[in-house]
Chains A and B, each alone.
Chain A
């Protein structure tokens, strides 16, 4: 089977059923029976219902759902801690579900490592021995595994703690050891099952930052399970939302927030602070008409504005980089004076942002003069689109933020 390089894990029609009469339950499920009916007739619980998705190389793929959504069962199917009832899991194009015992051990030892909610550290081993545990299991010799474990401990910021025992450490530090153990194996895939859910909020936030830092360095493919949407948004390159064993939606945080695929997802994302997630890219209107400073004169500018029914237009230079706006009244003055160029009417001190700016970051740029925010390409300054101040305020005030209300009042006063 040919598979594109960037897909690291591919899950096809994965179904997991708990209980004794799995076959019967699976048949009913395929015929479209409901979970409740299957439970009633066969005493089998459907954990995952025909899930299909792909995880790309180097991304953090977050699986989000409430308890009972099947997310933890799902991650355990990826390394077959749970044996899938039907469906396939491909790792780099190879079907893991068909692997023999020895192949499976190899996969667990060399291809995927796992971080657990309850850490899963061995109380009778030191921090160093714990970090080296995966290597010990796969038979690396002592010198080599201690070296790798030390490196991993340094990566997670636990240098100097090697000889302590887990009981002497806080939850956050224990989970760093759990992470070091996973990193020491140097597998391509990291499976993180609610890895930060047992930690205090502040420590949790620290660990998230730390994980993002480490990820920049190591570029692993990470499957991260969580029930916390804020965590999903912070960490996830893409997020998959699950409910009752069914995938509700897969997409970036922004896609999910701006375009929820179901009522369940929209109910879920309602509480999220959108200010920090919605970016300029999704708010801007694209392909505005643009004036060329070197080509277009006042007469052409007036005609364009009339055509579009607008009072201003953005202007770019000969390299097609955004330089500013011209306003209709200024251009009319130029035309009266028989000027040939737009230079004198050009307002260059205008706000511009990049497409990944969030609403929160753009809010301070709101001003009384009602210029739209120009969204420009980072490297060549080309105009991608415009974000009007009104749309920015509407986006922000959905949540009745006092600060934003004040800004509107200020804007109206002028």
Chain B
């Protein structure tokens, strides 16, 4: 078929121009992200398995039970998750994928963190400002539905292979739920409570801090949970541009047609996903 318009070409020209004219920005971003990833990675890898396990158990148990922590019903509620964590993480350790699992965790933590730092303020903005909402919404649709592989191409272009393009692609992919759910949470704060705040002389900032954010928190935390899960689902794709971790083992499994390797590392991702999901969900469901 004959092409009437060569849209891709213009995009390419645009990307090229961005790459050439802002190379200082990309390299600064690359350095920054690499530094954060390396620090967290060495922290996680420097922590002995048993210490890490205990920290995760305590965190999960606290998230699940809250102030019922030391009561009988709290133990009843939290014991299942604790057992799962012990068995799951030990299995990953025993299969010899501990280091890879930590790489993956780092990748997920860093990209989720960046997604939240960008996403929550954007969500607040789109809840408060109609014009911003109208602009942000279609961009989010675009980000979410464009196949994630497509981001990888320019990402390599800007950052070359390694963790950074993987993280950037992951951030783009996991940003939308953070924005959307923050916005939704704030829009759903009952009008009468906000009005009460105004009537008592609260400033816009006070209303946001003392009324809207606390009331929207469960929804925002659901957004955090979604962002984490989407980030995890990206680890295999990120590994294609050189990100280390369980994802790259899965990728190797695919390339080498190695069922055992693929299954083991895939299972590792599932275990991490379930643990992260349960912890964040418990925080979201508080009260």
Q: Is the CB of B201 within 8 A of A120?
A: no
Given A119-B192, A122-B193, the answer on whether A113 and B199 have CB atoms closer than 8 Å is yes
Residues of B197-248 whose CB lies within 8 A of A: 197-203, 206, 210-211, 214-215, 217
- A122 near B200 with CB under 8 A, answer no
Residues of B within 8 A of A169 (CB): none
Which chain B residues (165-202) contact chain A, with CB distance < 8 Å? 190, 192-193, 195-202
Partner of A81, one of B193, B195, B206, B211: B195
**Cβ < 8 Å to B, chain A residues 132-153:** 133-134, 136-138
| Cβ–Cβ contact B196 & A116, under 8 A | yes
**Which of chain A's residues have a CB closer than 8 A to the CB of B202?**
137
- B residues near A117, Cβ cutoff 8 Å: 192
Most buried by A among B197, B201, B202, B211: B201
Beyond A122-B215, A124-B287, A136-B210, is A108–B196 a contact (Cβ under 8 Å)? no
CB distance from B45 to the nearest CB of A (A): 39
Given A122-B211, A122-B215, A137-B206, verify A116-B200 contact (CB < 8 Å). no
Q: Bound state CA distance, A136 and B192, in angstroms?
A: 18
With A109-B201, A113-B200, A137-B201 known to touch, is A120 a contact of B192 (CB < 8 Å)? Answer: yes
Query: Quick check: A114 and B199 within 8 Å, CB to CB?
Result: yes
A114 vs B196: C-alpha distance when bound (angstroms): 8
A69 contacts the other chain (CB 8 A): no
- Cβ contact within 8 Å between A116 and B195: yes
A301 to B19, CA, bound (A): 117
| Min CB–CB distance A118 → chain B (angstroms) | 4
Assess A124 versus B215: contact at CB under 8 Å? Given A116-B192, A118-B192: yes
Per-residue CB contact flags for chain A residues 88-124 toward chain B (1 = under 8 Å, else 0) read: 0000000000000000111111000110111111111
Q: Which residues of B contact A136 (CB under 8 A)?
A: 210
Q: Which residues of B contact A138 (CB under 8 A)?
A: 200-201
Q: How far is the CA of A116 from the CA of B206 in the complex (A)?
A: 20
- A-side contacts of B198, CB under 8 Å: 81, 108
Chain A residues with CB below 8 A from B190, complex form:
118
> Which residues of the other chain, B, contact A106 by a CB distance below 8 angstroms?
201
Indicate if the CB atoms of A123 and B203 lie closer than 8 Å.
no
A113 to B195, CA, bound (A): 12
Chain B interface SS verdict (over half) = helix
Lowest 7 A-B CB distances belong to which pairs? Answer: A120-B196, A108-B201, A109-B201, A114-B199, A134-B200, A118-B192, A105-B201
Count of chain A residues with a beta carbon within 8 Å of a chain B beta carbon: 27
Contacts of A185 on B, CB cut-off 8 Å? 200
Asked if A79 lies at the interface with its beta carbon under 8 angstroms from chain B, I say: yes
Q: Give the CA-CA distance A79 to B201 in the complex, in Å.
A: 10
In angstroms, Cα B197 to Cα A138, docked, is 11
CB-CB contacts below 8 Å: B139-177 with A: none
Give chain A nearest CB distance to B73 CB in angstroms. Answer: 18
Of residues 156 through 189 on chain A, the ones whose CB sits less than 8 Å from some CB of chain B are 181, 185
Residue contact B200 to A109, C-beta cutoff 8 Å: yes
Q: Smallest CB–CB gap between A177 and chain B, Å?
A: 11
Closest to B198 in A: A81
Partner of B200 from the list A118, A121, A123, A137 (CB cut-off 8 Å) is: A137
The distance in angstroms between the C-alpha atoms of A1 and B203, with both chains bound, is 30
- Chain A residues positioned under 8 Å from B287 (CB to CB): 124
| Residues in chain A near residue B200, CB distance under 8 A | 108-109, 113-114, 133-134, 137-138, 181, 185
A122 to B214, CA, bound (A): 9
Instruction: List B contacts of A105 (CB < 8 A).
Output: 201, 203
Query: Taking the nearest CB of chain B, how far is it from the CB of A267, in angstroms?
Result: 32
Which residues of A have CB within 8 Å of B210?
122, 136-137
Given A116-B192, A122-B193, A124-B287, A108 and B199 contact (CB-CB distance below 8 Å): yes
